[in-house]
Amino acid sequence: MGKLDGKVALVTGSGRGIGQAIAKKLASEGARLVINDLDPEPAHETVEELRKSGAEAVACVGNVTAPDFADRFIGTAMNAYKGIDIIVNNAGYTWDDVIQRMTDEQWYAIVDCHMTAPFRILRAAYPVFKNQHQVDAAEGREVFRKIVNVSSMSGLVGNAGQANYSSAKAGITGLTRALAKEWGRLKVNVNAVAFGLIHTRMTSVDVKSGATVDIEGRKIRIGLNPDFIKQHAQRNPLGRGGTPEEAAGSVFLFCIPESNYVTGQTLAVSGSP
């Protein structure tokens, strides 16, 4: 018996990296998944991997910033499973520069991904949560459902060269607190996790290599300076960055019944106080 047996969980950006680790963790505890990725191949590969492990999973491919994405995402869950229990707003990337060189395109691309997309997804989910709560109440059941928004330490303390990303991630903590107050009456817990340095494909390469990822035709540089990683490890009390699996574990904490009386909180997941 898993802690999430039969629950329906939607995870954006779950074809790779942290999002995939989150999806695998939730599935390992019995959840049924809706997998999303910008690209079809990683999304469908993750679905197949989950199915081979015995989990139920379907894909909803596409950019979370698309105007129709939220309705498609919620609709995929309803068509496949007839309900929703968990939403994890994880999808994201960085497009850094100092403010004097940051373009409007850079600003809006990051804010739309990290702030507007979660807002639209949660707005689209509201009728589902309201209806499910009404059915539960009529039948005398108290059922808690879970929202976990992914923020960042950049949103809590700021980071040079990330005015767009820091602002969006700070905003997601505000959205989390607001919805915790709005949706408590529906028995929906709304919390956030703020990741520090987590080692993924985006952070593990040397930024000097010139490696990029393609985000709908935009070539976005990825990677970190190896000196920064070394200095981070020296400063961090645990002596290293985190793994995707450790990041997923923090999300899991907010999805299980033991967190039913916790809402509106942002948990720093950084290996440091």
Indicate the SS3 state at residue 224.
strand
Q: At 7, phi and psi to the nearest 5?
A: -70, 150
Task: Summarize pLDDT for 88-113 with one digit per residue, the tens.
Answer: 999 999 999 999 999 999 999 999 99
The H-or-E segment that residue 18 falls in is: helix 17-28
Is pTM beyond 0.85? Reply is: yes
- CB contact at 8 A, 254 and 191: yes
More confident residue, 204 or 88: 88
Catalytic residue among 81, 108, 126, 165: 165
- CB contact at 8 A, 14 and 191: no
Task: Summarize pLDDT for 1-35 with one digit per residue, the tens.
Answer: 899 999 999 999 999 999 999 999 999 999 999 99
CATH of region 8-269, choose from 3.40.50.300, 3.30.230.10, 3.40.920.10, 3.40.50.720: 3.40.50.720
- Going from N- to C-terminal start, the domains of the chain cover 8-269
Q: Is 165 a catalytic residue?
A: yes
The pLDDT value recorded for residue 205 is 82
| R_g (Cα) of the chain, nearest Å | 18
